[in-house]
Structure 1
Amino acid sequence: MPDLLNSFRTCYDRFEDESMLTHDLHESIVAQLYSAAAGDIEWREIMGRIADLFGHAAAVLVAIDPAAGSLRAHTHGYTDDEANAYYQSETFRADPRASLHMGVRAGEIYHDRALYDVPTMLRDERVRASIDAIGVAHQMGLSLRLPNNLSGAFTLLSTEAEGMPTDEGLAAFHRLAPHVEQACALSAIIEQAAGTQAVLLEALSAKADGVIIVDASERLAFVNDGARAILAAGDGLGWSDGQFATARAAETRRLRAMVNGVTSALKKSKAPDVGGQIVVTRPSGRKPYVVRVLAAPPGERLLSHFGCACVVHVHDLAAVRVPNPAMLSATFGLSEREARLAAECIRYADLSAAAAAIGMAHNTARNHLQSIFRKCGVHSQAEAVQLFGRLG
């Protein structure tokens, strides 16, 4: 039995040495795939390595939003602008191979010979036009399943001179395919989390009460608690039938146009210098909302490109921002009772009402207020309220 096992290992080692994808090479490529997913290296680097291994001139990683009919490409061997321009061209749409490649079920590997008769297809004038445009005659790829109802493809591209993949190449690609898909899915999740974090940090710096992220299909991708409460209140700003809605038709049209301007620019791969700001009136008669519409923060959004397109900040001008008394104590050295009184002075314009809210006598409150002035370096209640309000 030991002799049989040793013989098997010898045969396996010889096969591995002769294979285009040895165990060590396979493990090295898989490690780089997950490094790209984590953002430690660029996707273009590992795409180039895989393309070179299989003897292909180029590779493309595509993210697709089926609901919006949008597609975004990242490439090795071409610039991204060249690839995206081709995918938006009439030449691509007219190529009969396009629908066959795009129609492959998610999770499946495809190559030319499995989809159509190659010699016949290459004689088609529409196919020849595509080959003349980008130089690609053959493809071998994987249809990707991505989070958030997105799909995609990881495809190796070759010229007529490079030819179609060999059986050995197909076998090696089958080994890599599960890792390619998992790395792409992981990358999409990491990118979207990073994009959401960037949006929230930007909103924090702008002191927005509500933060809403809209994807490229103009669906709600993220709504923070503040925005959720504002939409649910229905006091001038809401979400109805998959769109923003206000109490006034003119405001509704303008707000929707601003959101659409951002998402449309993104679909056309333009730098979205669009968006804007609008005052939204409230039927209750309270101070209005100020709504800002911005493009999502720039950054590497490759596979999550369609999940974070437009950011909406909602500022509630009627909201009273009361700082935490503990923060006031730590910042200005106020006693516990002084800090509570200072916080209530922001909530109530009248000192008597602020004192009553915490069960403090009016004269005691006046004495505490003088102590607050000394510790904070201010000379009036209005000045103190302005100072503390900035910390709310």
Structure 2
Amino acid sequence: MDSALQLIIGQVRAAAAAGTALRIRGGGSKDFYGEATTGELLDTLPLAGISSYEPTELVVTVRAGTPLAELEAVLAERGQCLPFEPPHFGGSATPETLGEGSTSRGTAAGSAATVGGMVAAGLSGPARASMGAVRDYVLGVTLLNGKGELLTFGGQVMKNVAGYDVSRLMVGAMGTLGVITEVSLKVLPLAPAEATLKFEMSQADALTQLNTWGAQPLPLNASCWVDDGGVPTLYLRLRGAVAAVDAACRALGGERQDNAATATDWALCRDQRLPWFLERGGRDLWRLSVPQTAPVMDLPEPPLIEWHGGLRWVRAAPEEAPGLRAAAAVAGGSATLFMAGSARSTRVEDRFDALKPPLDRIHRQLKKEFDPTGVFNRGRLYPDF
């Protein structure tokens, strides 16, 4: 066991004995997400490095503090990638640095994002609807629980789960259950070909087309519908074999875009840095997760739509929050206050939909089991978690 890990274990055990709180933090790229938490800083950045990488097995094991950009660069050298396109954001992110007036572009601001934060936040990028989410690629984790015990779950193959899948339970837990120290991930080869098509069409037509195309054998990878300067526009990204992508382009029509130019735009979309996201005028940014088949929703303004209809971003004033939650519930989905407006201070219960009683009970039991004294990230997800 190396000295960095020993220091963190000692810090957790001391906090557990004293009943004090710890605030887990890597690069700080997702500080804006969820409610702010207090406590002594537990820095995961010293836990850095790629422990093992087997390109032929499509598996990589990485320590939690490893920069996400570093991992992606190593994978790219071998023609591989994280297909769920995790967002990078910037260092020490806040609504101000990620909102109005932000000039950060592309991946230059993404060096702060870490692998541990990627798993803990559980956020996926534009390709999520076609390629799956973060949790679908987590094979195993090593975790430090609230007692200072180092536990390992899962492994380095897909068929290793017996009983409760604890490894994937850590995805999206926001560090409330423990400190991820190492994670094993499934990776995939880069697609041989890519193309982005542009269509001018209404929101209703775009949703209809996306559902129609989704039922066909097309190499769909990502989509983005947005009111682009008053022109309703759908961008559709295809990835796959060269012949499949070329055939799809011919069949679908639209205006084929330059790949080099759209690569930057898709990265900006991944990190919520497109002009549509930045021009919020102090409003909150909401993330509505709904079925892909959900029709046009009654929202304060036309949303930006990703995931073939399944993810709808909405800019809204604080007083419009109840209506957004109601609209998402009617559609069979959920609403999350993803990024508060620069002039707004929110309580934690404003961020996520309240858990229903059975699920709330499970969450509390898990918290008690992994972190019995409530050491980690108090209040990050819910007020009394």
TM-score (norm 2): 0.24
Find the structure with the greater CA-based Rg.
Answer: 1
Q: Which has the higher helix share?
A: 1
Q: Which has the higher contact order (CA 8 A, sep 6+)?
A: 2
TM-score (norm 1): 0.23
Q: Which has the higher strand share?
A: 2
